[in-house]
Amino acid sequence: MPVQHPFASLRPRHQARGPARQLAKNPLLSAATFPPVSLMSAIVDTFIAPPCHEQIEILYQDEHLAIINKPTGLLSLSGKNPQNLDSVHHRLVQLFPGCTLVHRLDFGTSGLMVIALNKAINAALCQQFSQRTVTKLYSALLCGHLHENEGIINAAIARDPALFPLMTICADQGKPACSHYLVVERFYQPGKGGTPLPLTRVTLAPQTGRTHQLRIHCQWLGHPILGCDLYGGRQLPGTEQTSRLMLHASALHFVHPVSGEAINARHPCPF
């Protein structure tokens, strides 16, 4: 069953604990201000990942699994193009032959991943993910200032066949998708021409695991993730040259499939 209160231990004491606002589907909210980037099929056909010189940080390892910190700008799995061979899996299989990825992070997302070191552990961990007993928390910077301190986004997600690999919000054909958000702080940073750029730091908790879920949900909310080239995070003045996708997997909670121990992995946000 999904975790009902992912932010129970994260709310600042001064912040109101009122009921989270349930957001109704509003197709105008994202489309009016932050439309998806067009012609993405051409980009996919020619995309070559730039070299990633950062190393994977192994935070925990035993004979069954490993927990790593993935750097931004590194594929989780190698691409079909031989020039996209470098990836988390490609690097780790040199150290741990037979290891498999239990889940993935997008190319631009950094942070925590759990790696299974054998097939049995992979199956056990995949079952936890499929049963939604794993808690994943992400840190992100969103464009603009959110009005609500906390909320829930329920918006079904489907593939957009005309703009692959983009996803789209589609109540009719999409798969159910739910994300929680909690505001950490609102602030300004210098923008283009000295104009202050409003940003909101949030903690995000996906309760489902759809492709690009957090990125498209934040766009649909009207506040795309800063640096997100697919879903409007580089469209506001002053955001065009953002160095990376400002999304980091900062916490991962699951049960060790052999020892039964509760694993509460955390990694500080680098931005």
Give the tokens for residue 40.
């993405």
Domain of residue 29, CATH code? 3.30.2350.10
Domain membership of residue 43 (yes or no) is: yes
Q: How many domains does the chain have?
A: 1
User: What local confidence, expressed as pLDDT, does residue 41 receive?
Assistant: 37
Domain membership of residue 119 (yes or no) is: yes
Report whether 244 contacts 227 (CB < 8 A): yes
Domain membership of residue 155 (yes or no) is: yes
The Cα 230–Cα 219 span in angstroms is 10
Range of the domain at 162: 21-266
Report whether 226 contacts 235 (CB < 8 A): no
Domain membership of residue 5 (yes or no) is: no
Domain membership of residue 85 (yes or no) is: yes
Q: Going from the first residue of the chain to its last (271 residues), give the mean pLDDT of each consecutive group of 10, the final group possibly shorter.
A: 57 40 35 40 64 98 98 96 95 98 97 98 98 97 98 96 88 96 96 88 97 97 97 92 96 98 98 97
0.95 surpassed by pTM: no
Enumerate the active-site residues.
106
The Cα 215–Cα 223 span in angstroms is 10
Within 78-184, residue ranges assigned H as helices are: 88-95, 119-130
Domain membership of residue 249 (yes or no) is: yes
Q: How many CB atoms lie within 10 A of CB 62?
A: 11
Domain membership of residue 1 (yes or no) is: no
Nearest to 114 by CA among 127, 101, 128: 101
Give Cα 75 to chain centroid, integer Å: 13
User: What local confidence, expressed as pLDDT, does residue 8 receive?
Assistant: 62
Domain membership of residue 67 (yes or no) is: yes
